[in-house]
Amino acid sequence: MERRALISVTDKNGLEDFAKTISELGFELVSTGGTLKFLLEKGIKVTPIEKVTGFNEMIGGRVKTLHPSIHGGILYIRDDKSHENEIISEGIKPIDIVVCNLYPFKETVAKNPTLEDAIENIDIGGVTLLRAAAKNFKYVTVIVDSSDYDLVKKELIEKGNTSYETRKKLCVKAFTHTADYDSAIESYLSDVLTDNKKLKLSFESGTPLRYGENWHQKASFFKKDTAEPSASNMKQLHGKALSYNNYLDIEAALNVAKELSEYNAAVIVKHLNPCGIATGKTLFDALKNAWDGDRVSAYGSIIALTRRLDLKTASFLKGKFVEVIIAPSFEEDALEFLKNKSKDIRIIEVGKLFTSEEKVYKFLIGGVIEQDRPKGLYEKWECVTKEKFPDSKKDLGLFTIIATKYTKSNSIVLGMEYEKGQYKVLGSGVGQPNRVDSLKKLAIPKIYENLENMWNEENPGISKDAFFKEKISECVLVSDAFFPFDDTVKVAAEHNIKYIIQSGGSIRDKEVIETSDKLGISMVFTGMRYFNH
């Protein structure tokens, strides 16, 4: 029997070459409306749909492919003699390839159209074509994505037909497309017609992980399409399979690295909290200073870098145990060094760092929370104290805000300019029920521990106490939220901290400001909170 291909697409990317190829292979092309016009303009022989159905397109194009001559040709079972006899008696020719993609409903409703315009972009015939062809995948090739043209062409040229394996994959792809399409329509109409806001999320390619949060828990990772560098599109170049905790730490490290992507920067994460963050004149400088932020916690950590990893920077990790290292790319000698360093270290390539996703989600038992991504660092920059906040400290303040933004609440972070224009986290206290403990019991001891290491290694020629006092006085402290009392300010002053950034907004702001003035502290209100639960 003569072979036919029905083509009716909105996205015409790659169509000219594909249509020419299958036409040359002996397929009669049948098409509709804009696709018909496109093919004819390209000089490709094509049969209008009305010559097959015996009817013109009707009611403004709403009805054109919904006809037994079309769906009989798609749906009949080739191995069923009764089906074949019916097809022959009705003069229907088989359709072996269906190429179809749908009206741009999602793109249309994203522009806030009228209800009438939205409804006119609900595809009927296209969805029916895809479902029919996908249902009969044993015999029919269905193409919904132009990226599949090359595979189909290759198999038709080499074998005369597509393989059963290919048709199975294309079938699932078609039903996925129509499911997503119907889901978008349902969500829109539910919201517009019934005031019932719905959220439909789709994930695929479920992959079992080594284990879950603990060894006795099973876990899988499911992907969502996104252009943004993430766990869903990263490339693992080496090392053991990833576990649940690895995925979460990779996400945490990448979030900080994306915010610092304009710098040579290194981010070291342990159990979802950055334990070291630094920028540097070189990537090596950034990694070294990030590591010095917490040398103990850096053991078994996840490291994210903002630049292509070179051999000198990779060599810093000699003799140091890390679980995962993430970078936009790797120089060959650096990659070989890391592979030879450990057969287990996970090496992750993510490409250029940027952000694109607008929403984030938190899954609960029985529900999910959708919220805006936490963009921005401040809504205002208001010095509220008598002691002015110098402009020369603002960049250090912004760096420290970024570090604070991705630590677990309640958190306090102290940032340091270790050389001109280069910054590091000197110490932090995170994840505490109250903020004063974050500073007093966690951040302060870590700050002094790191300063002692610096004093021992730099031999500054002054007493330890003088060195500590001088260095701390030049640092900036950032709180993830307002101070409910002035106790944190008093602790800061006891240790010669002179510059504080916080959101403001407490009922005791006046008291906190008065205490800061008495103690000679400069304080900025940003109007923005950095809670991270």
User: Domains of the chain, with CATH numbers?
Assistant: 4-194 (3.40.50.1380), 236-349 (3.40.140.20), 376-525 (3.40.140.20)
Q: Rounded distance, CA 295 to CA 478, Å?
A: 22
Q: Which of 271, 312, 320, 490 is catalytic?
A: 271
Quick one: tokens of 290?
């990030």
Contact 271, 243 (CB under 8 A): no
Does residue 453 have a cis bond before it (omega within 30 degrees)? no
- 144-180 pLDDT, tens digit per residue, is 999 999 999 999 999 999 999 999 999 999 999 999 9
The kind and range of the H/E element at 142 are strand 141-143
pLDDT at residue 110 in the model: 87
Task: Classify the C-alpha dihedral 170-175-181-183 as positive or negative.
Answer: negative
Average pLDDT, the chain: 94
**What distance in Å separates the CA atoms of residue 441 and residue 400, rounded to the nearest whole number?**
19
Beta strands in 156-203 (DSSP E): none
Could you tell me which of 282, 253, 263, 270 has the C-alpha nearest to residue 350?
253
Q: Is 224 a catalytic residue?
A: no
Measured over all CA atoms, what is the biggest interatomic distance in the chain, rounded to whole angstroms?
103
For residues 281 and 75, what is the distance between their CA atoms, to the nearest angstrom? 65
Consecutive H or E run containing 362:
strand 359-364
Q: 42, 135, 408, 469: which is the annotated catalytic residue? A: 135
The H or E element spanning position 492 is helix 487-494
pLDDT for 33 equals 85
Q: pTM of the entire structure?
A: 0.83
Q: Please give the pLDDT value at position 63.
A: 79
Q: Would the CA dihedral through 447, 449, 452, 458 be positive or negative?
A: negative
Task: Confirm whether 271 is a catalytic residue.
Answer: yes
- What's residue 25's pLDDT? 93
What distance in Å separates the CA atoms of residue 408 and residue 252, rounded to the nearest whole number? 11
**Positions of the chain with pLDDT lower than 70, given as ranges:** 1
What pLDDT sits at residue 1?
Answer: 55
Cα separation, 5 vs 46, in Å, equals 10
Residue 52, token pair as written in the block: 């097959």
